[in-house]
Structure 1
């Protein structure tokens, strides 16, 4: 949403300040020319009025001169006694002193000039310049054009947002109808890329939960049915047996089956609790190299060697130490169970991320099983060890919480299984 906020602020500033400044410069230039023309015309009329007033002072009959005077520019002349002018005292004093007085109305501009050696005032009326009305019309046009461009600019900005929101709604609607594989393709230029990414994470998590529920129900129906059947058979046999030694053997066997059931139920509950644990992650900078060194020292075995190769000074990620330790402990334990003699761990970097490889020289994982080994209660066909197939599912869940990835392939050197974990590096390292 940060990109959405920044782009909105940018558009508002450009639209209001940028467009406003451009239109203001254009309008001021146009209006300035019109005002200069009007000022020149008034100045010309003032000079003409002064000359006519001086001429009337020399002639005998001012009214007769005004009656026959005509002007091709539409100027009108009047002569009024000074006493008939209704003006403030200050203006009358200024006019009597020989100054020119300009009065403007809605229809015309009146230029007043006292006729020398008389008590009469010559008034020249000139029509208001046509540019004034035209200027008013142009102001409306400029204003309309400004708002039109403003709306177009906002529409151009909003069009990608509307498109992405419609796509988000379409995908969410399809997802709600049960198409759990639906995802939003996050565009390179998107105001809501964070929201789209979070939607995809949410959709993936829901799909994983639904898949886990199906696998859990399948595991419960399969793995619990077997020990229950054995317990029932043991109880039936025990009820018919009178030999104390055989009865004790049957009881011990029934207890073993009960222990298997308890272990399976605890495994199911533990895996289910992982979803609740995600809400309690405590992220902090963690040095993966130190964590792996401690795990290697703890899990050393006399008949199998564990090597750790790390050529970087620091391998810091941001995550929860408890669950990252669980992640690599499960991977290392899984490698030791299937390895014949060697387990190799290597730490590297790639495009701002930390990459950890855990490989062994065991039988490996078949290519058609590599995409399923991270699902709960799925076990490799090559595995001869007892377990419920939850360890790698826990690894996948922990990696997803830390916005990383985990893959499995055949090791090029050891020829067994090789797990590759990619985790984002810590943003700040102190």
Structure 2
């Protein structure tokens, strides 16, 4: 609890200080920008105001003779806020650069660096000089300009808040996505996945705990696989020894009465060896090191060969086949994929009453085949568990039907290695229907 409170407190303090500094930066930035924008708006408003004033003064002067201009300028000084004077244009040639002086001669209103407004009066060599102009109150800014200022300020505020929010959330979001990625990889069975070093205070303990958990899971999985393989290998030795001793015993005891009861041990030994073999197959397929050896096969020929082999010793059952017109070719591991058919057909032979139906068809770039029987079927509640290792149906156990619950688990592993899927559903025949779908590399 102490550690959690410490992390919570540090997170709050860092968040508070970050946004305190951010608020200060935003305030200073907005204040600076607001002043600059306001100055620009005021200058623009003053410039427009001075242009109108200069035009009015010029028009009033042109309405009088040149000799009366000085008197007119003095009379306008009573209501005009800036000083005005009439100067000859030659006076300004020494104080202006050539380009600015030419603009003045062309009648352009000039604002000098020292705050004077100059305008050459039309058709004369006289210049109206106003100023110096002092900064005015923002009251000269129009209502439209004020609205523009508000839009600028609030727009910049929203932009800076978004920027600082991104800077705060970016490491948190990055750490969250790294943890999510690792969790998804672990859930898919990749126990080598680890979360990268977290940069945010919130996710450092989460990333550390997840990596520690992944290390422990990986050790447990590795230990389980190694133990399963070791036990299976070690069990084969005493089983083989028992079989040898039994054989030696039968060689010495020729009388049937002495050997009939002991000979019943052989089926039990066969069952133990079968369990060991299936356990080794499951451990081998369940390991991450197994690699497929794909081979190009003609689908129809290959399936018919599997069905022909499965039908041996099942004369009491009818095998019904339904195949599409052109199943084409596909690539499979010819050592591993037959196990899927042997298991599905073997299970169907165990449970079928009189018929087994095999169907295959091409759906685009996928081959779909199904094995159905007319047995008692599988209860829907067991659909989600039927592919779990060592799972056996309650009815199978009650009726003493042989099996270890590894066949379908191995079949599913093989199908997944081929990038396919396997599922179970109810058959129209009344029993179970196992459907396998695998991609085909070659077009039909």
TM range (shorter): 0.5 to 0.7
User: Hey, what does 2:77 align to over in structure 1?
Assistant: 70
User: Hey, what does 1:394 align to over in structure 2?
Assistant: 410
1:103 aligns with 2:107: no
Q: State how far apart, in whole Å, the 2-side matches of 1:242 and 1:322 are.
A: 37
Q: Deviations over 1:357-408 (max 9, x none)?
A: 31234565678876655343455334555x6443222112234443524225
Q: State how far apart, in whole Å, the 2-side matches of 1:136 and 1:164 are.
A: 41
From 282, 301, 304, the counterpart of 1:293: 304
Q: Secondary structure at the match of 2:129?
A: strand
Q: State how far apart, in whole Å, the 2-side matches of 1:144 and 1:93 are.
A: 41
> How far 1:113 moved relative to its partner?
1.7
5 Å-filtered alignment, 1:322-337, equals: 323-337=336-350
Unaligned runs of 5+ in 1: 1-32, 176-202
5 Å-filtered alignment, 1:31-46, equals: 41=49, 44-46=52-54
User: Hey, what does 1:123 align to over in structure 2?
Assistant: 129
From 269, 284, 287, the counterpart of 1:276: 287
5 Å-filtered alignment, 1:308-347, equals: 308-311=321-324, 313-314=326-327, 323-339=336-352, 341-347=354-360
> Relative to 1, partners in 2 of residues 1:78 and 1:323: Cα closer, same or farther, differing over 3 Å?
farther
> How far 1:307 moved relative to its partner?
1.4
5 Å-filtered alignment, 1:155-194, equals: 168=180
> Relative to 1, partners in 2 of residues 1:318 and 1:121: Cα closer, same or farther, differing over 3 Å?
farther
Between Structure 1 and Structure 2, how many residues are aligned?
354
User: Hey, what does 1:88 align to over in structure 2?
Assistant: 97
> How far 1:269 moved relative to its partner?
2.1
Q: Secondary structure at the match of 1:407?
A: strand
Contact 1:354-1:425 within 8 A present in 2 as well: yes
User: Hey, what does 2:67 align to over in structure 1?
Assistant: 59
Q: State how far apart, in whole Å, the 2-side matches of 1:269 and 1:54 are.
A: 113
Unaligned runs of 5+ in 2: 1-40, 188-213
Contact 2:278-2:407 within 8 A present in 1 as well: no
Q: State how far apart, in whole Å, the 2-side matches of 1:76 and 1:298 are.
A: 116
> How far 1:308 moved relative to its partner?
1.4
Contact 2:420-2:439 within 8 A present in 1 as well: no
> How far 1:80 moved relative to its partner?
3.7
> Relative to 1, partners in 2 of residues 1:321 and 1:46: Cα closer, same or farther, differing over 3 Å?
farther
Q: State how far apart, in whole Å, the 2-side matches of 1:394 and 1:334 are.
A: 13
User: Hey, what does 1:307 align to over in structure 2?
Assistant: 320
Q: State how far apart, in whole Å, the 2-side matches of 1:429 and 1:38 are.
A: 79
> Relative to 1, partners in 2 of residues 1:153 and 1:405: Cα closer, same or farther, differing over 3 Å?
farther
> How far 1:344 moved relative to its partner?
1.0
TM-score by length of 1: 0.55
TM-score by length of 2: 0.54
> Relative to 1, partners in 2 of residues 1:69 and 1:243: Cα closer, same or farther, differing over 3 Å?
closer
CA-based RMSD of the aligned residues comes to 6.2
> Relative to 1, partners in 2 of residues 1:349 and 1:370: Cα closer, same or farther, differing over 3 Å?
same
> Relative to 1, partners in 2 of residues 1:284 and 1:76: Cα closer, same or farther, differing over 3 Å?
farther
Q: State how far apart, in whole Å, the 2-side matches of 1:315 and 1:273 are.
A: 31
5 Å-filtered alignment, 1:147-226, equals: 147=159, 168=180, 213=224
